[in-house]
């Protein structure tokens, strides 16, 4: 995920977009047509995609926050004021309220 839609100065809602269901369907199709020697790898890949698809949205947002902080070179404490500033530097359209809410989610879901 490269971004989270819906965050700006006027809106603080977050719409998480995932396409894991499309990937899972493609893997199931490939698994149905696979020769026996390819099945173990495809079965493992399908299991990984399904577990990723089951991840709750707050964990996905927490992962997104960490990736955005890393993109601007932030390596400090995620609960700090500096983390909020770095997140807003990474995503300039992010309101202060949205940045703080995302920071709280990220700190609630440690890596």
45, 60, 21, 44: CA torsion to nearest 10: 10
**Residue 5: pLDDT band by 50, 70, 90 thresholds?**
low
Angle at 27 between CA 52 and CA 20, to 5 degrees: 30
Per residue in 11-64, pLDDT tens?
Answer: 555 555 667 778 888 999 999 999 999 999 999 998 888 887 767 778 888 989
CB-based contact 100:84 (threshold 8 Å): yes
Task: Lowest mean pLDDT of 4-8, 24-28, 70-74, 90-94, name the range.
Answer: 4-8
Q: What is the pTM of this model?
A: 0.59
Backbone angles phi, psi at 47, to 5 degrees: -65, -40
**Residue 1: pLDDT band by 50, 70, 90 thresholds?**
very low
């Amino acid at each position: 995920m490269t971004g989270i839609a819906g965050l700006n100065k006027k809106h603080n809602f977050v719409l998480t977009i995932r396409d894991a269901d499309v990937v899972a369907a493609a893997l199931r199709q490939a698994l149905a047509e696979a020769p026996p020697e390819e099945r173990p790898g495809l079965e493992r890949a399908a299991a990984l995609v399904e577990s990723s698809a089951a991840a709750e949205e707050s964990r996905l947002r927490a992962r997104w926050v960490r990736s955005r902080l890393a993109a601007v070179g932030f390596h400090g404490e995620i609960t700090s004021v500096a983390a909020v500033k770095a997140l807003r530097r990474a995503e300039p359209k992010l309101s202060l309220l949205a940045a703080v809410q995302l920071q709280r989610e990220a700190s609630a879901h440690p890596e």
